[in-house]
Amino acid sequence: MNTTEIATENRQLIPHVGLADDLQEELRATLQHYLSPSQIAEIDRAYQFGAKAHTGQLRLSGEPYIRHPLEAAKILAEMRLDHKTIMAAILHDVIEDTAVTKIELADDFGKEVAELVDGVSKLTQVQFESRAEAQAENFQKMMLAMVRDIRVILVKLADRIHNMRTLGAMPFEKRRRIARETLDIYVPIAHRLGINTFRLELEELGFAALYPSRHRVLAEAVKRARGNRKEIVQRIGDSVTERLRQEALQGRVVGREKHLYSLYQKMRNKQLSFSDVYDVYAFRIIVNSVDACYRTLGVVHNVYKPVPGKFKDYIAIPKSNGYQSLHTVLFGPYGVPIEVQIRTDDMDRVAEAGIAAHWLYKSGDEPAGGPNSRTREWLRNLLELQKSAGNSLEFIENVKIDLFPDVVYVFTPKGEIMEMPRGSTPVDFAYAVHTDVGNTCVAVKIDRRLAPLSASLFNGQTVEIIAAPGARPNPAWLNFVVTGKARTNIRYFLKHLKDEEAIGLGRRLLEQALANFTLSIEQFSDTNLKDLLEELRVPTFEALLRDIGLGDRMALLVARRIGETAGTHLASPSQVRRGTAIKDVLTRYVPGWLRGERSERSPLAIKGTEGMVVNYAKCCRPIPGDPIQGFVTAGRGIVIHVESCKNVADYRNTPEKWIDVQWEENVTGEFPVEIRVEVTNKRGVLAMVAAALSEMGANIESVNIEDRDGKFSTIGFTVDVGDRSHLASIMRHIRRIDVVRRITRTKS
C-alpha cells in the first residue's frame, strides 16, 4: 500500500485531515513557529497513520491511546526539535503495541523515522530469569539505541514525562515502582544530557508518586513560607539590578524558586530542618557575553560580601553535561545566604535544553569541549562498556556509576583538564586516558610525588601514570576503582586472561589423563574431535580445554571417552600437523609439541606462575618444597593442598577430583605461610620480631596478637616466603631472639 492510499483510508477513519482536536491544534500552533508547512504536513501524515494503528486502544484513564504519543510530541515541539523527531514521537508505540512493522514505517516515512521508532520501542515480552535482568536488558537496549541517535532518548524522556503526568490511573504499587525507576534511571540520564527542564519535572513527578505524604507536607510548608519571602526577594533583586545599571551592564535578574525534590534531598542528606534549607535566596543573572559574566560577578561581590570557598567557575571548566555558569554564595540581608548563578543567554539555553539545544540553535561548528562533543564522548564510552560488559546487569551497574556527574577536575602532565567522577583513583584516570594505559599502569605520580594507585583524586592535582609494557591489571583494582570504564575493562581483561590460563592448564590436565591410556592429544584425529565435541555439546576444542582447566569438566572422563574410540580414529603426528582444529590450539598454548615433545606419565608440575586457575589453599598454605596434592574445583581450576592437610583426608571420598601434582624444580615467586611465635611479654617485642622478618626478606601480610596470660603472648604472622628453605632460615633467625620461646608453622 502506498502513501496516498494510507492517507485516503485515514481520512475515512478520521473526520478531519491533520490535527483533529484541541490537543492537535495546540501541537500545530507550536510547530508553526519553527517548521515549514511541508514538514508540518509530514507530521500530519504521521498522526493519521498512528491514529489508525491505535484505533480501539484506550489508556487506563479511558482516553484514546493516540493522545499519549501526541502529548509526547507536544513536549518535544515545545523544545523545537526537528520534524522527524516529532514524527517518531507520534509513532513511537506503533511497533510495540500494534501490527505495524519497522519495514512498513521505513517504506512510508523513511529509514530515519523507522530507526528512531525502533530505538524507542520497549523490549518485546521475553522470559528473563529475574525482573532485574529484564529491566537491565531494556535499559541496555535503550542506551545503545541512544548511542546510534541521541534523539531516541529525547523521545523516550518525553514519553516518560507524559506517563508520569498521568500516573494516577495506575495501582499504588505500580506507581511507586515506576517512580523509583524514573528517579534512578531517567532523571540521571536527563541530568547527564543537560536537559534541565526534563530533569526537574521528572524529579517532581517522581517525588510526588514515590512519597506522596512527604511531597504534600513539603509543598504546604513552601506555600506558607513563600508569602514572607516576597519583600526580601524583591529588595535583593532591585539592589542588584540598580548596581548593574550603574556599571552599564545589561542583564536581567530572576529569582529562582527552590524545587521540592531538591529541598527534600538537601534536608535528608544533610540532616537539615525545612527552615535551614528554605531560608536561602536564589537568583539567576543573564547577561550578553562571557566578559559581562565576570564583570557582573565583581558587581554582586560589591553589593553583598561573598562566602569564602563557595565560588565555582563552570564557564572555564564546564560540567560533564556541558553546563556553564558562574556560581557564588553571598551574605545577604539579615544574614540569609544568597545563591547566585551568572550566565549568558546561550549558556542558559544549554542549561535548560542540554543536548537538545543542538537542534534548536545550530550556529556552525561547535568548539572542542562543547556540550555536544562531551556528550558524544560519553556515548562513545557507552559503546566500549557494551563491548566489554559480561551481561546486561553489569552494563547497567557501570552506566549508572557514570550517570551521576559529581566530578573532580585533574590535569595531565601536559596541562590538559581531565574530568573524573568524585572518588576516582589513578587507575580510573589511566583508563580514562586510554584502555591500554590502564591495562599497563604500574605506578602513579600525583603532583610529582609517587602515590598509591588506590589514592583518591582531588581537584587541581596533576596526575602522571607510569606504565610498563607487559604489565597487566591487578584483580585487587576492582576493590577501589569507581568508573564504569575502568571496572569493565579490568573485568574484561581478567576474564580473557583467565580463559587463556584455563586453556593452557586444561591441555596439561588432559595430556596427563590421556597418558593413562598411552595416548596424547596430538594423536586424536580432527574427525573424531568433531564427534567428541558434538557428544559433549562443546562448540570448540578451546572451549573443551577451558572447561577442563576451570574444573567444570573432569579430564579423566574426557580422556576415557577418547580412549574408548582410540582404536579406529587415531591419527599419526604427521597427519595432525597437516590438520587445523587441534594444531591451531596446540601451537598457541603448547609451543613445543610440534618438535615431538610428549607428556609423560608423571605428576602435573606446578610452576607458581599459572595465574588465576591454580589456587593455594588457605587452610594449609602450601609452599614450594611441601609434598602437595591437587583438588579440582568447578570454576576455580585446581586448588593445591599440603598432603598432610586434614581436608585431603576429608575429600578422599571424591577420588576422581584429586590429581597428582608436584612442584617444578625452580619455582619463583612469593607464597603466603602462617607462623606462630610465642614470646615473653615485653615492650617492643612485636617490633623486634617484625624487624627480624624484614631482615630475612619476608613481607608481612597480616599480624594477630593473642594474649595467653600476663607473662606470655602468641603472635600470629602471615608472611610471604620463597620456599621451605627460605622459611627454615626465617624460623632459625627468629629463634635467636631472646624473648622468643617457641616458633611453629601453622598447618590446617
Annotated catalytic residues are 96-97
Nearest to 159 by CA among 70, 232, 222: 70
Residue 435's nearest CA partner among 499, 394, 490 is 490
Cell numbers linked to 644: 598432610
Q: Which residue has the cell 529525547?
A: 154
Which DSSP helix (H) or strand (E) runs through 20? none
Helices 131-148 and 392-403 meet at what angle, rounded to 10? 60
Side-chain-side CA neighbours of 85 within 13 Å: the count stands at 26
* Beta-bridge mates of residue 721: 671
Instruction: Give the span between the Cα atoms of 127 and 110, in whole angstroms.
Output: 32
Q: Give the Cβ contact number of residue 198 at 10 Å.
A: 27
Residue 55 DSSP one-character state = T
Q: Residue 396 and residue 392: Cα distance in Å, rounded?
A: 6
CA–CA separation, 66 vs 56, rounded Å?
A: 10
Which residue is it, cell 624484614? 694
DSSP-assigned letter for residue 184? I
Nearest CA to 350 among 320, 371, 378?
371
Closest CA to 696 of 668, 676, 725: 725
Give the sign of the dihedral formed by CA 476, CA 477, CA 480, CA 484. negative
Q: How many Cα neighbours within 13 Å face the side chain of 509? A: 33
- Which amino acid is it at 489? N
Euclidean distance between the first and the last CA atom of the chain, given in angstroms as a whole number? 79
d(C-alpha 44, C-alpha 28), whole Å:
9
| Cα gap 556→604, rounded to integer Å | 14
The set of cell numbers assigned to 645 is 592437610
Q: Which DSSP symbol is given to 366?
A: P
Q: What is the DSSP string of 715-736?
A: EEEEEEESSHHHHHHHHHHHHT
φ, ψ dihedrals at 419, nearest 5°: -100, 125
Q: Cα–Cα distance between 360 and 277 in angstroms, integer?
A: 35
Q: What is the tally of helices (H) and strands (E) in the chain? A: 33, 19
Distances (CA, A) of 225 to 8, 201, 259: 58, 22, 14
Compute the half-sphere exposure of residue 156: CA atoms within 13 Å on the CB side of its CA.
26
Which sign does the torsion angle of CA 237, 239, 240, 243 carry?
positive
What are the distances in angstroms from CA 337 to CA 122, 231, 270, 274, 301?
A: 46, 16, 17, 15, 13
Residues in the chain: 748
Q: What is the largest CA-CA distance in the chain?
A: 105
